[in-house]
Amino acid sequence: MLHNFGSINLDHVYRVPHLVHPGETLASRAYQVGLGGKGANQSLAMALAGGQVSHWGRLGRQDAWARDHLADVGVNVAHVSLVDEPSGHAIIQVDDVGENAIILFPGANHGFVPSELASLMASAQPGAWLLAQNECNALPELFASARERGLSIAFNPAPMTEDVVRLPLETCQLLFVNRVEAAGLVGLPESSDAQALLAGLRQRLPDTETVLTLGGAGAWYQSGDAQCYQPALPVKPVDTTAAGDTFIGYFMTARQEGRTVADCLELAAHAAALCVQQSGAAESIPRRTDVDQALSQFRATRSS
């Protein structure tokens, strides 16, 4: 079982011709409200991939439907608390080429207190995986407690903030970063090439496995001096909102199944490729049957 200490948000999604400029008023072509948050998205992706995942989170009592949705797809929600606080939410713009811009209100996601962390840790067996992102509070305390409990920590430092740099990242066994996050962690320009970013991460965190996702430039896995590359798949993106979360959820499920790193990357890349061809966040995350079918078709085409 993987335990995901993660945000649960309500996503307010607006389709716009371009991302709004300062001082501009822009009419939206469409609007919808859905389940989101990097934490919830990653738990959904794991469950839809067939993984075993327990979500640790907080949600406004009035939004219990979001917890029910997580449960309906197979997420263990025994440790999702309904609280008398507003739920976290995001205002998301998505433009005609699939790029997005997001304003995030943390809400209940930032209400964790020490007694809650202690209760959550008590529910986890030593040796289990703990997955976290940067949309909940109390991460330093979480990392310390997880290390004491003997959990393996996988961390996705998104959204990237100055606080992330000060976290004890050396306690993480696995780190998922995109180009912006990697550059921020190692003090390099975002335009740096993949090998420069990977070298910086290896120097800073020599004992931590890293997955560097680069969108259309593919993804890299690194552990010490060993590296594995997964090329990007040729698809036309409609909405990239949950692509990274889908990648992480499928990667962790494949790892849970005991697959090789190359297989983990390949499965995750195909899942993300299907995701970006659909609009929305949670609703764009594909099911395992669809990903397996896409992967089989890709392999058949490549071998013919």
Active site amino acids: 245
Alpha helices in the chain (DSSP H): 38-48, 64-72, 114-122, 139-149, 162-165, 179-186, 194-204, 243-256, 261-275, 288-303
Residue 124 tokens, joined: 């986890």
Q: Using alpha carbons only, how large is the chain's radius of gyration in Å? A: 18
Contact 8, 37 (CB under 8 A): yes
Dihedral sign (CA 146, 138, 248, 261): negative
Burial of 44 (0-12, 13-18, 19+ CB in 10 A): buried
Peptide bond into 22 cis (omega under 30): no
Q: Is the dihedral of CA 253, 198, 262, 273 positive or negative?
A: positive
Nearest partner of 48 among 304, 283, 296, 293, judged by Cα: 283
Strand-pairing partners, residue 14, are 31, 93
Contact present, 212 and 178 (Cβ < 8 Å): yes
Cα dihedral sign for 138, 172, 106, 3?
Answer: negative
88-94/9-15 β-pairing:
parallel
